[in-house]
Amino acid sequence: MKQGFYRMFIELTNNRATSGFLRKFSTSRLSKVLIKPYINAFKLNMEESKNTSFPTLHALFTRELKNDARPIYAGENELACPVDGVLESHGKIEKDIQFIVKGKTYSIIEMLGSKEMADKYNEGYYMVLYLSPSHYHRIHSPIAGEVISQFELGAKSYPVNKAGLTYGKDPLSKNYRVVSEVKSSENGKHIAMIKVGAMFVNTIVVTAKEKRLKKGSEVGYFSFGSTVVLLFEADSFTANNKLKSGQPIKVGENLGKLH
């Protein structure tokens, strides 16, 4: 009953007109009146922001940080956290190229749009990193390497918060998303980074135009809170044993070992 009501509500509110209005409003000068209330409501740390004045709410969402605000603690052959957020879930990918989050089974074939691409991650490892509207929205490269493919999938986006993951229609594999596959220069293996759009505002902007990526370099940003899914090939990654699902994380922190 609860699941059905949740989905019905989302379907009624998540339409093109609503999304278009919110996108237009957040990028308009009218949204400036909400900037201070937003900062106060979400207790944003503006001391680490490169700018302290913003023309629109969207400019605040996509703010850049000072150069020293997110040092890269991950060393050689270690995975740098690509976003500020919460480690929602992590674990081993099953033999049928699936993993489970909040009781839902996610098909990596559906998530990546190709069995050929998904096969290389069979029995590998996954991480789901959730960004709320309160988080820094820029995305950074978790490794040094080369982008070997990048493409878009999906159309609409549903919430990717706890309620969305519990009651939604498989948002990690059905939402609008940008998939980047990177070949690591550290271990020669592939990592898939799936940037998943959030409710209403589908915008995911790719800012890195070059194929070669430095660890910690910016690759893009979300226009609102969202999620990043990381996929690793079998026997190529071991998560930091101090990590726990639900813990806060920041760009540059060591999430585990590449091998």
CB 228 within 8 A of CB 194: yes
CA distances from 189 to 95, 129, 212 (A): 19, 21, 15
CA-closest candidate to residue 161, choices 134, 139, 140: 134
* Residue 84 known to be catalytic: yes
Helix, strand, coil % in the chain, rounded to nearest 5:
25, 30, 45
CA distances from 177 to 6, 81, 117, 174, 180 (A): 22, 19, 16, 8, 10
pLDDT reported for residue 16? 52
**Which residue reads 């190529």 in tokens?**
236
235 DSSP β-pair partners? none
What Rg, from alpha-carbon coordinates, does the chain have?
18
Per the document, the length of the chain is 259
Q: How many CB atoms lie within 10 A of CB 67?
A: 8
pLDDT reported for residue 176? 80
> b/e per residue, 97-118, with b = 16+ CB within 10 A?
bbbebeebebbbbbbbeeeebb
CB 45 within 8 A of CB 118: no
The pTM of the full predicted model, rounded to 2 decimals, is 0.87
CA-closest candidate to residue 255, choices 67, 121, 86, 118: 86
User: Which among 19, 49, 58, 84 is annotated as catalytic?
Assistant: 84
Q: How far apart are CA 26 and CA 133, in angstroms?
A: 13
Two structure tokens written together for 40: 């106060």
Dihedral angle at the C-alpha atoms of 91, 94, 97, 100, nearest 10 degrees? -60
Two structure tokens written together for 229: 């899914």
User: Which among 89, 140, 180, 190 is annotated as catalytic?
Assistant: 140
* Residue 226 known to be catalytic: yes
User: Which among 89, 141, 226, 236 is annotated as catalytic?
Assistant: 226
Give the residue ranges of the chain where pLDDT is below 70: 1-21, 102, 155-174, 199-202, 225
Greatest CA separation for the chain = 51
